[in-house]
Structure 1
Amino acid sequence: MSTSFDRYQKRKLISSYFSVVISIALVLFLLGCLGLLVLNAKKVADHFREQVVVTIYLNDSAKDVEVKQLQNTLAMAEYTKEAKYVSKEEAAQIVKSDIGEDFMEFLGANPLQNSIDVYLKADYVTNETLDGITAELSNKAFIEDIKYDNDLVEIMNNNVKKITFWVLILSGIFTFIAVLLINSSIRLAVYSKRFIIKTMQMVGATKRFIRKPFVFKSIQLGIIGAIVALIGMAFVLYYLDKTFPEVELLQNPILIGALFVGIFFLGILITWISTFIATQRFLNLKTDQLYY
């Protein structure tokens, strides 16, 4: 009978430990994914900003040497990521590919113009910078027009500011919730052993002696939960990097490594503090208060 009871108690203990590990792993995993989002928010925003194109349309009378000189000047400018010359023939092929038919058969000629597509560095994608570039280039006689999506730039910059603000707010809230959830799981695990704690205290064991195995076991569970969470984060990061290689999520391994180390030690720290507080609470209770 005692053997059967011991096996039951062992299964119950393992189940309790398993639930604590899963709780810690899930919370740290979500917190780590949010950390990845925070670290890469600017990079993702910069990627979309750098898709904005400034198209400089050239007159048919423009000389090759003038066009080449302009392209080189733009390519070397501090605000330029890439300056690409697009001939009217290339533009026609792009339009043909987009609409799925040859529009020149109906028109009898190619109405498009030679142009230079300028892609700016992310920090320069602002209406002020774009207006300055337009004003600087407008005095060249062989440039017919300069176009970019002014509304898109304004909306994009406003949305980036809003998203960055709310991501930081959510990070703080989620970190607080993570601490509460892990603390609750640890407290429930310690609560199930409150009578053992009081019995040890009644036979003369010191608080430090009683607390030590609980803290040590919780730290072990925290380490296991953190490792599980880090494995999940690594899979998510690998998948996102393969799916969106242009964002270059792995470009800064030092920051990512620091995040992984931070999540690992956060799991240890929260479990240690939670166990210390929980055991201290039950150590300070009177025997008759253990039933409430």
Structure 2
Amino acid sequence: MSISFEKFQKRRLISSYFSVILCIFIVLTLLGALGLFVINTEKISSHVKENIPMTIYFKREATDSTKQAFGVMLMNSKYIKDSKYVSKEDAAKNNPDIVGDYETLLDNNPLLDSYDVRLKGNYVQPKEIKEIEVELRSNPDVGDVSYDNTLVEIANENIKKISFWILIISGVLVVISMLLINSSLRLSIYSHRFTIKTMQMVGATKSFIRKPFIWRGIKLGLIGSLLAIAALIWLVYYLDGAFPVLNIWEDWVPTAIVLSGVLAFGIIISTISTFFATQRFLNLRTDDLY
């Protein structure tokens, strides 16, 4: 009979530990995934902004040498990510529905030579892009500068809104994760409340009683954190393959900081929660244990 009871107690203990580890794993994985999203928000926003095109049209009297010199200037500009020269002949081939058969209907090609450029993400702001437009238009060989100003404003406004809500969600999730981990550890220690009180009654000090529970909490937090880190590493590899533009592993330092933060958070919150949960049962009267 006693052997069966011991087996039952052992299974219940293992189940309790498993529940704590599972809770820590799930919570930290979600928290770490949000952290990865936050640190890559700038890359995502820059990628969106850098895909808003700008076209610089030359005047008809502009010579080939001035166009080449202008291209060199673009390559050396701090705000240009990349540029591509588009001759008026190539533009006509790429836009047959707009130009039509100009060779039979018109004396010459009505389109202009141009450069299609993409600006660096941090320069795709209404104020900065307007200053760049003014600077480009000041060139005597430039006839026009075209870009979707409305799209620039919408992109920046949406990115600000998304960033704001990410911060709100991050704060809420941190609080929820602390409460869930704390509750799981308290339930785990609850099954040992009689053992704690018995040790206290025979003269054991509070620090002596707390020590093994805190070490156990640290171990459970460490296991849950390592499992969460393994899941996050898999997630990073998946995202890096699905969205190579993010280059997550190329800039590995922020990712390493998030993973280290997950490990530290799991251990710290487990230690603190175990301490206070144990302290609560140490301060209870014997009658309150029931």
- With normalisation by structure 2, the TM-score equals 0.92
Q: Which residue of 2 aligns with 1:107?
A: 101
- Report which stretch shifted further, 185-194 or 1-10: 1-10
> Alpha-carbon deviations, 1:196-230, whole Å to 9, x = none?
11111112222112111111111111100000100
Paired with 2:217 and 2:150, the residues of 1 have a C-alpha distance of 54
Q: Which residue of 2 aligns with 1:11?
A: 11
**Is the aligned partner of 1:202 residue 2:196?**
no
Q: Which residue of 2 aligns with 1:98?
A: none
Paired with 2:47 and 2:100, the residues of 1 have a C-alpha distance of 38
Amino acid at match of 2:57: Y
Amino acid at match of 1:107: D
- The alpha-carbon deviation at position 112 of structure 1 amounts to 4.0
Identity %: 49
Asked if the contact 2:92–2:99 (Cα under 8 Å) also holds between the matched residues in 1, the reply is no
Q: Which residue of 2 aligns with 1:217?
A: 216
**Is the aligned partner of 1:66 residue 2:60?**
no
Give the unaligned 5+ runs of structure 1. Answer: 96-101
Give the unaligned 5+ runs of structure 2. Answer: 104-108
- Report which stretch shifted further, 109-118 or 258-267: 109-118
- The alpha-carbon deviation at position 150 of structure 1 amounts to 0.0
Q: Which residue of 1 aligns with 2:46?
A: 46
Residues 92 and 237 of structure 1, relative CA distance in 2, 3 Å threshold: farther
- The alpha-carbon deviation at position 234 of structure 1 amounts to 0.5
Residues 126 and 92 of structure 1, relative CA distance in 2, 3 Å threshold: same
Paired with 1:178 and 1:92, the residues of 2 have a C-alpha distance of 59
- The alpha-carbon deviation at position 10 of structure 1 amounts to 1.1
- The alpha-carbon deviation at position 273 of structure 1 amounts to 0.5
Residues 260 and 140 of structure 1, relative CA distance in 2, 3 Å threshold: closer
Paired with 1:230 and 1:5, the residues of 2 have a C-alpha distance of 37
Amino acid at match of 1:57: Y
Amino acid at match of 1:152: L
Paired with 1:19 and 1:48, the residues of 2 have a C-alpha distance of 41
**Count of residue pairs the alignment pairs up:** 285
SS in structure 2 opposite 1:30? Answer: helix
CA RMSD, 1 decimal: 1.9
- Report which stretch shifted further, 102-111 or 152-161: 102-111
- The alpha-carbon deviation at position 106 of structure 1 amounts to 5.2
- The alpha-carbon deviation at position 84 of structure 1 amounts to 1.5
Q: Which residue of 2 aligns with 1:264?
A: 263
Superposition map of 1:104-183 within 5 A: 107-109=101-103, 112-183=111-182
SS in structure 2 opposite 1:285? Answer: coil
Paired with 1:191 and 1:50, the residues of 2 have a C-alpha distance of 55
Paired with 1:9 and 1:82, the residues of 2 have a C-alpha distance of 67
- Report which stretch shifted further, 149-158 or 106-115: 106-115
Asked if the contact 2:53–2:117 (Cα under 8 Å) also holds between the matched residues in 1, the reply is yes
Asked if the contact 2:248–2:255 (Cα under 8 Å) also holds between the matched residues in 1, the reply is no
- With normalisation by structure 1, the TM-score equals 0.91
Q: Which residue of 1 aligns with 2:78?
A: 78
- The alpha-carbon deviation at position 31 of structure 1 amounts to 0.7
Q: Which residue of 2 aligns with 1:23?
A: 23
Amino acid at match of 1:194: R
Paired with 2:136 and 2:214, the residues of 1 have a C-alpha distance of 69
- The alpha-carbon deviation at position 139 of structure 1 amounts to 4.4
SS in structure 1 opposite 2:84? Answer: strand
Q: Which residue of 2 aligns with 1:99?
A: none
Paired with 1:131 and 1:34, the residues of 2 have a C-alpha distance of 34
